[in-house]
Amino acid sequence: MPSSIDRKSPSLFADDGFSSARLMTYCLAAVLLMALDQRGAYNLKIRESLATLVSPVHMLVNVPFEVADSISNSFTDRHTLRLKNQLLEDRLLVQQVQLSQLAALRDKNMRLRSLLGARSGLRVQTLVAELLAVDLDPYSHRVIIDRGRNDGVMAGMVVLDAGGVLGQVDISSPETAEVILISDPDHALPIQIARTGMRSIAFGTGDTSILMLPNVSINADIKKGDLLQTSGMGSHFPAGYPVARVMSVERSTGRPFARVWARPVAQLERASEVLVLLPEPPSAIQSDTGVVSGTPVPAKTSQTAGDAAAIDGNEIQ
Amino acid sequence: MSSLRQNNRLLYLLLAIGLILSIVPLPNGLEPFRPPWVSLVLIYWSLEGSRSVRLGFAFSLGLLADVLLASLIGLHALQWVILMFLVARFSSRIRFSSPLRQTLTIFLLLLNERFILLWILLLKGEGNLGLELWMPAITGALVWPWMFVLLSRIRQPGS
């Protein structure tokens, strides 16, 4: 195909000065857009409508994997299924015992709280979601889940996996939502050391297996193996969910702060099923019924108490 | 004119496939080796198509990819605008060099793209930059000759 065919639009590069100017313009525009995006200057509406635009593509890419999954599920042989069933039943038994202990503890906690006149713990609804089989930019530390605004998932909600906190919903479109992982260098999470109650902030490092606590004072009581949990400060994350375990504490004389590294307890790289915490609307908390009124209840929700344990929801607070 | 339009349709199809291939999940551990499909398609089209890919087009495509991949908005736009500028500038030299030299040039172009990414990531404060940052340039250069032959076959079934 000779290039002379296209007479209406001559080659952009006929004139050097013109083309470099255009290059510079586009580069500047791109850098400006990136700077704005980094600073979170975009209106949430714009981001959400953009996400809505591409969300069908994400779901489309996910389809073959879902089909393959269901096919391999339906061809699993009896023996494997029975083994798996046995395993799950065992685990259920163990956890039920633990739960009954927790229920007793919770009752006690409630009584003590009411004695103190404190507000009883927030009840939280959870929603099971699956990660879409989509690989995003490896340096953006984001995943896509298959629940969106239609299921009540909104920006800012906390996402957990079986281990602990995974991240936070950043953008929600009608059918899917984008979750920013706690490993993103932009992400900061208010935490508390479970053993001592000391508060700090955990920053993502870009590495999915490392979080950093840059502002722990040098003589703070923190050591390897300590569990970090959400402190509930900043009111984005409810308190008490496990976040990470301290890997190493580096105290060097001459610096006012110790450098603390921790490993997330959630499987940031391998999670496939997650829980989204839907904060209960204030009206429902006041009405004290345990059942959400007024807002549509998503299909797969279950009641849990604020302390990470799924305790049956009939008990009145 | 109709063949030109057909050609454009092929370009859109290839770009769509490229975009899909860049989000299709790869088996664990292989993700860093994913070739930069869209960049390769853009380079091919700039070299072999009826005219160079316009910067504005590369820019808009980049924005689309940024939304799709959830990367920083403007990152792919920047990468591809610069890529298309370089390819158009040196297209005659790249087009008529030996296959080996051509592949080497493509490698350098892709490497340049990774440098842009590195620059942005460093500005962003990303702490986990290993060798895998450079892998797409290598796999892209390895894929290039095969893709070149395949796409040429598709475009001109006779020859």
A32 occurs within a structural domain: no
Tell me the C-alpha distance between B94 and B81, whole Å. 18
Mean model confidence pLDDT for chain A: 78
Residue type, B1: M
Are B77 and A33 in contact (CB < 8 Å)? yes
Distances in whole angstroms, Cα of residue A36 to Cα of each of A26, A303, B73: 15, 39, 9
Rg (CA), chain B: 15
CATH of domain B2-155: 1.10.1760
Distance from CA of B90 to the nearest CA of A (A): 11
Instruction: Express each pLDDT in B97-110 by its tens digit.
Output: 888 999 999 999 99
Tell me the C-alpha distance between A252 and A217, whole Å. 11
Q: Give the other-Cβ count within 10 Å of B97's Cβ.
A: 14
pLDDT (0 to 100) of residue A43: 66
The whole-model pTM stands at 0.76
Question: How many pairs of residues across A and B have Cβ atoms under 8 Å apart?
Answer: 137
- The total domain count for chain A is 1
Instruction: Express each pLDDT in A285-307 by its tens digit.
Output: 444 433 333 333 333 344 433 43
Instruction: Express each pLDDT in A87-116 by its tens digit.
Output: 999 999 999 888 888 888 888 888 887 777
pLDDT (0 to 100) of residue B77: 94
Domain boundaries, chain B: 2-155
Distance from CA of A221 to the nearest CA of B (A): 27
A141 occurs within a structural domain: yes
Mean pLDDT by 10 residues, chain B (159 residues): 70 91 86 92 86 85 91 92 90 87 94 93 79 91 92 76
**Averaged pLDDT, A249-271:** 85
Which domain, by its residues, includes A179?
43-75+121-317
Contacts of B88 in chain A (CB under 8 A): 11-13, 19
Q: Which candidate from A1, A133, A137 shows the least CB-CB separation from B25?
A: A133
Chain A interface includes B151 (CB < 8 A): no
Burial of A200 (0-12, 13-18, 19+ CB in 10 A): buried
Burial of A229 (0-12, 13-18, 19+ CB in 10 A): buried
pLDDT (0 to 100) of residue B2: 55
Chain A interface includes B135 (CB < 8 A): no
Element (H, E) at B46: helix B37-48
Percent residues over pLDDT 90 in chain A: 14
A87 occurs within a structural domain: no
A272 occurs within a structural domain: yes
> Beta strands A177-181 and A142-145: pairing type?
antiparallel
pLDDT (0 to 100) of residue A281: 56
Is the pLDDT reported for residue A199 higher than 50? yes
Element (H, E) at B72: none
A236 occurs within a structural domain: yes
A142 occurs within a structural domain: yes
A233 occurs within a structural domain: yes
The token pair at A316 is: 């009145």
Helix (H, G, I), strand (E, B) or coil at B37: helix
